[in-house]
Structure 1
Amino acid sequence: MKSIFEEATYTQILARIDALNENSDRQWGKMTVAQMVWHCQFPFLIAIKNKNKGNGNLFVRLFFKKQMYSDTPFRKNLPTAPNLKTKEEKNLSVEKPKLRELVTDFYNCKTRKDWNPHPLFGKLTHDQWGKMQYKHLDHHLTQFGV
């Protein structure tokens, strides 16, 4: 499975983000392209800030954690946590540079050794963080055809 910590994957992800525009057609779901770009910023903020000290959610860890970094694609139309979605319209020209910067900041964590637990998935290895971030972002970029 690809990881954002791999230079070629990182470069490819940035090119896919750059390919998004106001006319990017949603293949499934309800978010607009700008809302999706806004939504995709949060997993990176969690990882980069590295502030969580919890153990995650036991149910989530037992039943969903391995799906986050496996080669199996996410199903379309999975529910989004309420605090990670917005009904407000977002501006793509504002949100896209923010996402690019967060992807770069995360990529620059490629030598980080110490990761705090994820708020839902608990302890993750460095490799799992890189794969999980790729998988989530790939899912949403594919959602908008890039």
Structure 2
Amino acid sequence: MSTIFDQATRAALIDRINTLNENSTAQWGKMNVYQMLKHCSTYENMMLGRTKYKRALIGLLFGRMALKDFTENDNLIKMNVPTLTQLKIKEDKGNLLIEKNKWIALLEEYAHLTDPDVVHPFFGRLTKEQIGILVYKHTDHHLRQFNS
């Protein structure tokens, strides 16, 4: 199973990020490319354990079951999966190069992540292995969204 902790996998994702530009348009969803880049940086800060969010009630009820669907197979994240409210980006314009570089720098930090303390607002407490799979799938999902 693909994971962000694999250097070659991370490098391939970064190559795909570098193909994004102001003409990149979404194949689905409501985000533009700037919002997607900012959303993904916000997500990485959460998955690196820097930003903590309160658990959602629905996550407390169903999060652990859903986590299995996301981490125990190679299935892609489906189109139009709802975004956590905390990760929605309202501003719609900004510097794409700066946002791409922020996201890439955050992805590079996974090479040195040793003892993560991550409680996902929907899935709950995550192991390092689950973080690796989820980050890979989330990144791939948004790059596919923008045909990269």
Fold conserved between structures, TM > 0.5: yes
Structure-1 residue corresponding to 2:100: 96
Greater share of strand: 2
Which structure 1 residue ranges, 4+ long, deviate > 4 Å from structure 2?
50-56
Structure-2 residue corresponding to 1:128: 130
The one-character-per-residue Cα deviations of 1:32-67 (angstroms, maximum 9, x if unpaired) are: 111101111122101223565977732242432113
Identity %: 38
Change (3 A) 1:113 1:32: same
Which whole-Å CA distance do the structure 2 matches of 1:67 and 1:129 have between them? 14
Matches within 5 A, 1:3-22: 3-22=3-22
- Greater CA drift, 80-89 or 30-39: 80-89
Quick check: 1:47 aligned with 2:44? no
Structure-2 residue corresponding to 1:31: 31
Among 82, 104, 110, the residue aligned to 1:106: 110
Q: Is residue 38–residue 90 contact of structure 1 (8 Å, CA) maintained in 2?
A: no
Structure-1 residue corresponding to 2:75: 72
CA RMSD of aligned residues (A): 2.2
Q: Which runs of 5+ in 1 are unaligned?
A: none
The one-character-per-residue Cα deviations of 1:12-31 (angstroms, maximum 9, x if unpaired) are: 01101111111113111111
Aligned length: 144
